[in-house]
Homo-oligomer: A and B are copies of this chain.
Amino acid sequence: VAVVGASRDPAKVGHQVLRNLKASGFTGKLFPVNPRVREILGLIAYPSLEEISDRVDLAVVIVPAIAVPRVIDQCDGAGVSAAVIMSGGFREIGAEGEKIEQDLRDTLKRTKVRVIGPNCTGVDNPHIGLCMWLPLRKHGYISVVTQSGTVASAIKCWAENEGLGIAKCVTLGNRIDIDETDLLRYLGDDPLTRVIALYLESVSDGTRFLKAASDVSKRKPILALKGGRTQPGARAAVTHTRSIVGDDQIFQAAMKQCGVIRVQTTEELYDSSKALSYLTLPSGPNVLIVTSSGGSAILAADVCSDMGLELPPLTRSTEKTLRQKLPGYCIFSNPFDLTTTTADQFRVVVEENIHDPMIHAFLLIFGDPLLGASEVVDSFRPSTEKPIIVAYLGGGDVEDKERAIMHSRGIPVFPSPERAAQALGVLLVRSEYLREED
């Protein structure tokens, strides 16, 4: 990877990108390109792309906008077939930038270089340590395609902090070449991507997008957060030509038709991605809530109801068995409220219901400093196809510890009963879509 416009000045993006690639542990070779210096961050700097004797697979371009078309020509000359243009100063700044962007488009037409950007915050593939905007050390299975660098960064930071990580991330910028549709197709075939999370304000080519989304969503879940669903939001969003959006209801209908699951907030995009990458799908709407907190279970039940999930009663024989095994102060119902409890009592309740064909999913709410919660959840995973979704809250230091253990084992944990129930609802939406397609 060549970083064209690498800089020794820590305040410059051309420095930060190189530093982040190093900090992420990039597994390939890095070639800073800058004709004015000989070394940056301990790496030999090259005066131009042509001077690099190794093969260069990707150029990251961070030179002033006016110089970008020439760099793309140089990429073409040096046999570099892909570039991520992070430089700003194109059509987003008005007429002057529009002209440079047109020059760049013309350049692309006569070269073979494929481009992401310009005016983007780079791409990430933490599986090989290729992270441009922020250093990432964790890698996972969520891939992000976005028109907002910050929405991507937020998801990356949350996934990094939780130790789950992401698979790949592409910020589209002005998307003069590669767009969300290309990336849907690419990520649809990427074995490390289990879920595709989109943030869009518009779609560059509606027909192509719908076709690709319909194809890909048959084998992989796609989530979409759309900015500009209200009038003030839409006014704030730059509206691109040939966009299918504008009217929010049309967008909603189009997404539903092609199997894309729409979410409403940045956190919901992350939560749903987490659930879809790490949990199996329920084969029906029935969930058993097992809880140490009555209040949290009621709040979860409310959101379950909003999401079309159902809470069937315990069977008579299960209730009878559980009454023998557990203290009398438990509430033997659904939600099953253990009240004062140990993590192991959660195991007893799940065990008795795990083979019940009328229970399709479990929602466990740990609402106290419950040691061993991670062990209990983990113990069921080899033996069941049913999703077990976890909310953990109000547990202080013990919660922090158990949460970290669960995340390290690929068990997603949600910070409130409502967010867990919402994420479980998304699993149901996905499973119902797949059943209809069948």
Query: Which residues of A come within 8 Å of B, CB atoms?
Result: 13, 88-89, 92-94, 97, 134-135, 146-154, 156-157, 160, 199, 201, 225, 227-233, 235-238, 264-267, 292-299, 301-302, 304-306, 310-311, 328-329, 331, 333, 335, 339-340, 365, 367-369, 393-396, 399, 415-419
Residues of B within 8 A of A201 (CB): 295, 298
Provide the bound-state CA to CA distance between A149 and B292, in Å: 10
Q: A267-B418, A328-B94 known; A304 and B394 CB under 8 Å?
A: no
Residues of B within 8 A of A335 (CB): 236
Identify which of B267, B292, B302 contacts A229 (C-beta below 8 A). Answer: B302
Residues of B within 8 A of A154 (CB): 296, 367, 393-394, 416
Contacting pair B230 A306 (CB below 8 A): yes
Copies of this protein in the assembly total 2
Provide the bound-state CA to CA distance between A305 and B229, in Å: 10
Q: A201-B295, A417-B266 known; A368 and B150 CB under 8 Å?
A: yes
Contacting pair A294 B148 (CB below 8 A): yes
Provide the bound-state CA to CA distance between A331 and B396, in Å: 43
Residues of B within 8 A of A266 (CB): 296, 299, 393, 416-418
> Can you name 24 A-B pairs with beta carbons within 8 Å?
A146-B295, A148-B294, A149-B295, A150-B292, A150-B365, A150-B393, A150-B394, A152-B394, A153-B394, A154-B416, A156-B394, A157-B393, A157-B395, A227-B299, A228-B298, A230-B302, A232-B304, A236-B301, A236-B333, A266-B416, A266-B417, A266-B418, A267-B415, A267-B419
Residues of B within 8 A of A399 (CB): 157
Provide the bound-state CA to CA distance between A297 and B153, in Å: 14
Q: A236-B335, A329-B92 known; A149 and B301 CB under 8 Å?
A: no
CB closest chain-B residue, reference A248? B302
Contacting pair B148 A302 (CB below 8 A): no
CB closest chain-B residue, reference A230? B305
CB closest chain-B residue, reference A146? B295
Residues of B within 8 A of A295 (CB): 146-151, 199, 201, 227
Identify which of B153, B339, B395, B418 contacts A92 (C-beta below 8 A). Answer: B339
Going nearest first, the 6 A-B pairs with the smallest beta carbon separation are A148-B295, A153-B394, A150-B367, A150-B293, A233-B302, A227-B298
Residues of B within 8 A of A304 (CB): 232
Contacting pair B394 A302 (CB below 8 A): no
Provide the bound-state CA to CA distance between A328 and B94, in Å: 9
Give A81 Cβ to nearest chain B Cβ, in Å: 28
For the A-B complex with A227-B302, A265-B418 known, give 18 more contacts whose Cβ atoms are closer than 8 Å: A92-B329, A146-B295, A148-B295, A149-B293, A150-B367, A153-B394, A157-B396, A157-B399, A227-B295, A228-B298, A228-B301, A232-B302, A233-B301, A236-B311, A265-B299, A266-B296, A266-B299, A267-B415
Residues of B within 8 A of A333 (CB): 236
Q: A146-B295, A150-B295 known; A93 and B416 CB under 8 Å?
A: no
Give A160 Cβ to nearest chain B Cβ, in Å: 8
Contacting pair B236 A153 (CB below 8 A): no
Contacting pair B416 A267 (CB below 8 A): yes
Most buried by B among A237, A292, A311: A237
Provide the bound-state CA to CA distance between A135 and B301, in Å: 30
Residues of B within 8 A of A393 (CB): 150, 153-154, 157, 266
Give A301 Cβ to nearest chain B Cβ, in Å: 4
Residues of B within 8 A of A415 (CB): 267
Q: A151-B295, A367-B149, A416-B265 known; A230 and B301 CB under 8 Å?
A: yes
Provide the bound-state CA to CA distance between A298 and B232, in Å: 8
